[in-house]
Amino acid sequence: MEPYRVWRYQPETHSLVLGKAEIPALDDNEILVQNKAIGINPVDWKFIKANPLNWQNGHVPGVDGAGVVVHVGSKVDTSLIGRRMAYHGSLNRHGSFAEYTVLNVERVMTLPEGLPFELAAALPCPMLTAWQAFEKIPLTRQREVLVVGFGAVNNLLSQFLVNAGYTVDVVSVSLSEERAKSLGIRRVYREQSLIDMKYFAIFDAVSGVNAAHLVPLLRANGHIICIQDRIPKPIDPPFTRTISYHEIALGALHDFGDIEDWHVLMQNGEALLKRIVSSGVEVSIPVTFKFEQMLNALEHSEFSKLKTVITLS
């Protein structure tokens, strides 16, 4: 195959440059996906600017993408060639900001018929993060929960909760009353200071500090779920309200999850994709850019706060 186009990281300038790469050899359990669409997430432009993982010169960023399997490793079923896939990749490996991406075969989701690549690429990071958060709490008779913030993750999370029978309130300055009603959300607080009740569970997508401030609003035996950051130590004294503290880190599963962990997550992800196709879950249509417009797309994602996707011909 001919060399293909990639966006490579330049640590000295914290920027990307368009370049070329050779098709790499595949390990036994790897596949090569020809990307048809690339999802841009806040983690992408945040890591490009800050480089917390010390990416070296030439690293290819990007975690989300969707495309077609074109090559497989020696231990991978060749029937996967030609299959449409979506994926969430590791920040420590060359990622989706390229025409081709190498992936572990156990860490991809088969796309259902009717789901276009550009929408599929927008989903893995927020969808799987929302699902991990949803799974943190048990189904009980206490069903009133609070969701703080309403970005891509909490938009999906709120729907998962409503569909499971929870009564959902939201803290958001941007969510309209009309939209909230259509999603089955009971109440929208415009400020946290207006909250006047206690909840079985609170999902916070702001910060660990903000989540800590919300802990007093929990019922005894309640749950606080940090989607951004974490609460480093319990707020209450021991043997009092016995609050359960949870943290969400989808990317950490690449380093600490095993085959079974990924099998379960990918199965759940495929089921969620089918629900989206059948209109069981509402998702926003992403704004699209061409591959050559990657820098514009990253800027759009950062400043518009709208879901942004790169499309490839």
Give the model's confidence band at 170: pLDDT under 50 very low, under 70 low, under 90 confident, else very high. very high
Give the model's confidence band at 154: pLDDT under 50 very low, under 70 low, under 90 confident, else very high. very high
Residue 37 has what pLDDT?
99
DSSP character string of 113-153: TT--HHHHHTSHHHHHHHHHHHTTS---S--EEEEE--SHH
The CATH fold assigned to 137-247 is Rossmann fold (3.40.50)
* CATH architecture, domain 4-125+258-311: Alpha-Beta Complex (3.90)
Structure confidence by residue, pLDDT tens digits, 22-52: 999 999 999 999 999 999 999 999 999 999 9
- Answer yes or no: is pLDDT of 242 > 80: yes
Residue 1 has what pLDDT?
77
Q: Please tell me what DSSP assigns to residue 55.
A: P
Q: Where are the domains of the chain?
A: 4-125+258-311, 137-247
Structure confidence by residue, pLDDT tens digits, 248-262: 999 999 999 999 999
Residue 142 has what pLDDT?
75
d(CA 191, CA 172): 7
Structure confidence by residue, pLDDT tens digits, 117-134: 999 999 999 999 999 999
Residue 262 has what pLDDT?
98
Structure confidence by residue, pLDDT tens digits, 271-313: 999 999 998 899 999 999 999 999 999 999 999 989 999 999 7
Using CB atoms within 10 A of its CB, is residue 85 exposed (0-12), middle (13-18) or buried (19+)? Answer: buried
Give this prediction's pTM: 0.96
Structure confidence by residue, pLDDT tens digits, 196-238: 999 999 999 999 999 999 999 999 999 999 999 999 999 999 9
Helices (H), 84-241: 117-121, 124-134, 152-163, 177-183, 208-214
- Answer yes or no: is pLDDT of 139 > 90: no
Give the model's confidence band at 140: pLDDT under 50 very low, under 70 low, under 90 confident, else very high. confident
Averaged pLDDT, 96-112: 99
Q: Please tell me what DSSP assigns to residue 238.
A: T
Averaged pLDDT, 93-109: 98
